[in-house]
Amino acid sequence: MAIEIEAAPSVQLSRVADSETHGENLAYFAGWKAYDEDPYNEASNPSGVIQMGLAENQVSFDLLEECLEKHSEASTWGKGAPGFRENALFQDYHGLLTFRKAIVSFMEEIRCGGAKFDPERVVLTAGATAANELLTFILADPGDALLVPTPYYPGFDRDLRWRTGVKIVPIVCDSSNNFQITTEALEAAYELAESMNIRVRGVLITNPSNPLGVTISRSVLEDILDFATRKNIHLVSDEIYSGSVFSSSEFVSVAEVLEAREYRASERVHIVYSLSKDLGLPGFRVGTIYSYNDKVVTTARRMSSFTLISSQTQHLLACMLSDKKFAKNYIEINRTRLRKRYERIIDGLRSAGIECLKGNAGLFCWMNLSPLLEKPTRESELDLWRTMLQEVKLNISPGSSCHCSEPGWFRVCFANMSEHTLEVALERIHKYMEQRRT
Amino acid sequence: MRLQLSGKATCNSHGQGSSYFLGWQEYEKNPFDQTRNPQGIIQMGLAENQLSFDLLESWLSENQDIAGFKRNGESIFRELALFQDYHGLPEFKKALVQFMEEIRGNKVSFDPNKIVLTAGATSANETLIFCLAEAGDAILIPTPYYPGFDRDLKWRTGAEIVPIHCTSSNGFKITACALQQAYQEARNRNLKVKGVLVTNPSNPLGTTMTRAELDLLMDFIIEKQIHLVSDEIYSGTVFSSPNYTSIMEVLLKYEKAEVWDRVHVVYSLSKDLGLPGFRVGAIYSNNDSIVAAATKMSSFGLVSSQTQYFLSALLSDKKFTKNYISENKKRLKKRHALLVSGLQNAGISCLKSNAGLFSWVDMRHLLSSNTFEAEIELWEKIVYDVKLNISPGLSCHCSEPGWFRVCFANMTEETLEIAIRRIKALVESASRGRDKVISSQRSSKNNSRKKSFSKWVFRLPFHDREAGER
């Protein structure tokens, strides 16, 4: 067995343990390391590396903290802690009903009532990372493939493939039409898989897109759904950024498309959501799978045993999110603040001579540095990335780590820092671009 | 053409298709409640520790700030909300290893850098098997064992479990012969043995492994060059002698030997602290590759940072932990004695045990025949007529019929007394011979229910209504 040759003496691990599919040797993670070694700090390390590769939402914590003050029983189980023991014992993989209802209500609020969700179809998982892997285990067998539009979140290489043994076949999108998914691209991806004798089990889209920061239009969603129906495969829509669409009217969830079709053929559709981005709570590990397929719901629920959400955290968030006034207010204000950040960075980049893809969502913008490349190659892109990291001291994510088919694009996060830090970053970019011109 | 799901979704390895969890269903339909439903079914199939919540609640009332996301008066809400580092909160890992050391009488020390946090021991066990084995491989496990292992270790990993048969002839201890036979059985089935997994203290036996057994295991894994996983989830529930010996203690004499990085420990706070809802599990290993791989895999099941922080404060409070560990043991010992003596009065003996949240009860003499059909028949009677939900040995893969696991720590003392009275009544009526008549009447009236049992009696059923009802 090949594994024995490369394994450390006497310690034979599984293929999964030894493989590199956990994906941590990519530039995406290498940038993190550089940041960790020399992190920017306004006071103590003003010339350090500014982290712009982390899609975190830090703009609305004050709202959460205010809510927490108002609902102290959320974190302390109330005076005398009457609910403590029941909560500590609660490990039912159906999840706390109050929490499921609160999540459903939050998801409906984000979609401005454009879709209704049933708490009985919500399966809870420890983060969207777990939700995506779980769905892959359920929808595909080892050796099968999921089609994923490029550019995509680098973590998918691990989440969808590592332990599942499932492959990703890219749906190649490019700047000629603003990276929109086309039926031609879908068909091409499917044919490519077929030509390699790989069985396609589903399409996985992220809407709004990471790293593009753009929502998928209703007509494209319809096309994707039609394609999945034609091929009799599944459609997973990761809507983790749905609450970060700058203007509420611009987001169309696949749930709305299904509702408009009266849920015909909806048993192939599954939605992933999480509170990591919209609420800025990645540490609490809150993800969900919402499926219109009963067997998927049942199976996912059983499988969620491996990745349950702490009941302490379910209780906390059930209390907070059940405050509908808070939820509505939060969504609105959060949106506004993100939009303001986005406008600031776009403006700042533009005045430095840099253009971005027109975005309308997310915690990042998709920046076009292709005019700066020596050659239109991945190597040139990585050289530029290294320059950005080592000279300009900004950690941004190169498009190649997102499997972008065109070199020169970078994902730049703007919501994980203070306004001041963002200005410092823009200043540095400005300076760099000026230096280049001279 | 129908839309398809994966093989894993359509197979039965999650184990819930078996009609075994009839017991659970019946309990759900008619749950005992001291005031509102005193005739209902008493749940004795759930290995939960409900004896020491008052100690936790009292700590909580004195440390409201901790639960309120404060550290030294300052809010750390943001910091925690953003903390998703799969290396885990350093202060929590430190507190956790210290707690593990305390439980082991400080006879061993743990390095916080070698611990991997996971969402429960369910996740820890699965993650370890993902690291050690795959389709075509086998893990050897002594019977009887926790029914959840069939799902946790096999479902998504593709690995197989081959039993190491233990019998009542020697108190269900592991023997060299049984180990070799299991290894051979795996070979006969064309499976490559990757390791042995033991639970110590044992579920469902409630016994701690002897030094001799532990040495035997070490010899075996050295000889076969395989791994050993010791699930020590019940290590804090050892309430009487013999004293607990963790595999970590045995490992001390093998430090820097080849086998040293093939022994791994699983732990959790679900049983000792009674916090199954908080999903706190851990893998401990001297093997750098395993720690590295398991750490990355833990991305799929991280512990909530809110919970990590809360528990780091709880477990760092040495006054609390010292008192908790000793008081918890006292209470478990008392409960255990109550159940054992109560059963004794009814002429029912238990395996002599010194740990866990349950007793391994010998009801062989109540069987109409020495068969698993008779065991299930008796179990049905206990669920439907005696109104107690207990776990039949068959579900734990016990090789001898007639043994049942009965939990004692998930109810009040009064409820336990009621359960004991009911068992006594059963035994009394059985000895008056009426039962044999009743059982033969029932078997003719309920052929359909019996039919639904016969096909799964020879399968490997287990109940899994909720995650981790060990």
Residue A63's closest CA among A341, A284, A332, A360?
Answer: A332
State the catalytic residues of A.
153, 238, 240, 277
B279–chain A Cβ distance below 8 A for any pair: yes
Residue A285 has pLDDT above 90, yes or no: yes
Instruction: Tell me what the mean pLDDT of segment A401-406 comes to.
Output: 96
Q: How far is the C-alpha of A67 from the C-alpha of A280, rounded, in Å? A: 14
Helix (H, G, I), strand (E, B) or coil at B403: strand
Task: Give the per-residue pLDDT at A13.
Answer: 79
Residue A41 has pLDDT above 90, yes or no: yes
Q: How far is the C-alpha of A316 from the C-alpha of A73, rounded, in Å? A: 8
Burial A359-383 (b: 16+ CB within 10 A, else e): bbbbbbbbbbbbebbeeeebebbee
Band of residue B444 on the pLDDT scale cut at 50, 70, 90: very low
Counting residues of chain A whose pLDDT is more than 90, the rounded percentage is: 88
Query: What are residue A45's DSSP bridge partners?
Result: A41
Nearest CA in chain B to A125: B301
The verdict on a CB contact (< 8 Å) between A137 and B9 is: yes
The verdict on a CB contact (< 8 Å) between A296 and B9 is: yes
- Please classify residue A43 by burial: count the beta carbons closer than 10 Å to its beta carbon, then call 0-12 exposed, 13-18 middle and 19+ buried: exposed
Task: Give the per-residue pLDDT at B14.
Answer: 64
Counting residues of chain B whose pLDDT is more than 70, the rounded percentage is: 90
| Residue of B285, B299, B411, B465 to mutate when probing chain A, most A C-beta within 10 A | B299
The verdict on a CB contact (< 8 Å) between A296 and B8 is: no
pLDDT tens for each residue of A88-141:
999 999 999 999 999 999 999 999 999 999 999 999 999 999 999 999 999 999
Instruction: Tell me what the mean pLDDT of segment B256-273 comes to.
Output: 96
Residue B384's closest CA among B469, B464, B453, B431?
Answer: B453
Task: Give the per-residue pLDDT at A171.
Answer: 98
B74–chain A Cβ distance below 8 A for any pair: no
Task: Give the per-residue pLDDT at A322.
Answer: 96
Largest alpha-carbon pair distance within chain A? 69
Band of residue A185 on the pLDDT scale cut at 50, 70, 90: very high
Residue B439 has pLDDT above 90, yes or no: no
Residue B438 has pLDDT above 60, yes or no: no
Task: Choose between B456 and B315: higher pLDDT.
Answer: B315
Structure tokens of B9?
Answer: 């979704």
Rounded to the nearest angstrom, the minimum Cα separation between B52 and chain A is 10
Among A434-438, B11-15, B438-442, name the one with the lowest average pLDDT. Answer: B438-442
pLDDT tens for each residue of B417-429:
999 999 999 888 8
Band of residue B15 on the pLDDT scale cut at 50, 70, 90: low
Task: Give the per-residue pLDDT at A240.
Answer: 98
Whether B85 is catalytic: no
ipTM higher than the 0.85 cut: yes
Task: Give the per-residue pLDDT at A23.
Answer: 63
| Residue A54 contacts residue A394 (beta carbons within 8 Å) | no
Residue B435 has pLDDT above 90, yes or no: no
pLDDT tens for each residue of A355-394:
999 999 999 999 999 999 999 999 999 999 999 999 999 9
Chain A neighbours among B 307-326 (CB < 8 Å)? 307, 310
Rounded to the nearest angstrom, the minimum Cα separation between B196 and chain A is 14
Among A212-216, A248-252, A399-403, B37-41, name the one with the lowest average pLDDT. Answer: A248-252
Question: What Å distances lie between residue B459 and A11, B18, B40, B153, B190, CA to CA?
Answer: 34, 9, 30, 17, 21
Whether B271 is catalytic: yes
Marked catalytic residue, from B20, B145, B146, B324: B146
Bond before B204 cis per omega within 30 degrees: yes
B274 → closest Cβ in A88, A92, A276: A88
pLDDT tens for each residue of A297-309:
999 999 999 999 9
Among A199-213, A395-409, B4-18, B134-148, name the one with the lowest average pLDDT. Answer: B4-18
Residue B445 has pLDDT above 80, yes or no: no
Instruction: Tell me what the mean pLDDT of segment B141-164 comes to.
Output: 97
Band of residue B247 on the pLDDT scale cut at 50, 70, 90: very high
Task: Give the per-residue pLDDT at A52.
Answer: 96
Structure tokens of A37?
Answer: 């070694």
Nearest CA in chain B to A20: B293
The verdict on a CB contact (< 8 Å) between A130 and B301 is: yes
Task: Give the per-residue pLDDT at B335.
Answer: 98
Nearest CA in chain B to A266: B3
Length of chain B: 470
Band of residue B25 on the pLDDT scale cut at 50, 70, 90: confident
Among A80-84, B296-300, B321-325, B425-429, name the one with the lowest average pLDDT. Answer: A80-84
CA dihedral B85, B91, B92, B93 (to 10 degrees): 80
Residue B451 has pLDDT above 60, yes or no: no
B286–chain A Cβ distance below 8 A for any pair: no
| Residue of B10, B116, B302, B463 to mutate when probing chain A, most A C-beta within 10 A | B302
B25–chain A Cβ distance below 8 A for any pair: no
Residue A146's closest CA among A242, A228, A24, A253?
Answer: A228
Task: Choose between B469 and B4: higher pLDDT.
Answer: B4
Instruction: Name chain A contacts of B313, Cβ cutoff 8 Å.
Output: none
Band of residue A71 on the pLDDT scale cut at 50, 70, 90: very high
Instruction: Name chain A contacts of B155, Cβ cutoff 8 Å.
Output: 303
Residue B442 has pLDDT above 70, yes or no: no
pLDDT tens for each residue of B31-77:
999 999 999 999 999 999 999 999 999 999 999 999 999 999 999 99
Across chain A, mean pLDDT equals 93
Helix (H, G, I), strand (E, B) or coil at B180: helix
Task: Give the per-residue pLDDT at A11.
Answer: 47
Instruction: Name chain B contacts of A316, Cβ cutoff 8 Å.
Output: 306
Task: Give the per-residue pLDDT at B458.
Answer: 40
Band of residue B16 on the pLDDT scale cut at 50, 70, 90: low
Q: Are strands A234-238 and B403-407 parallel, antiparallel or unpaired?
A: unpaired
Residue A29 has pLDDT above 60, yes or no: yes
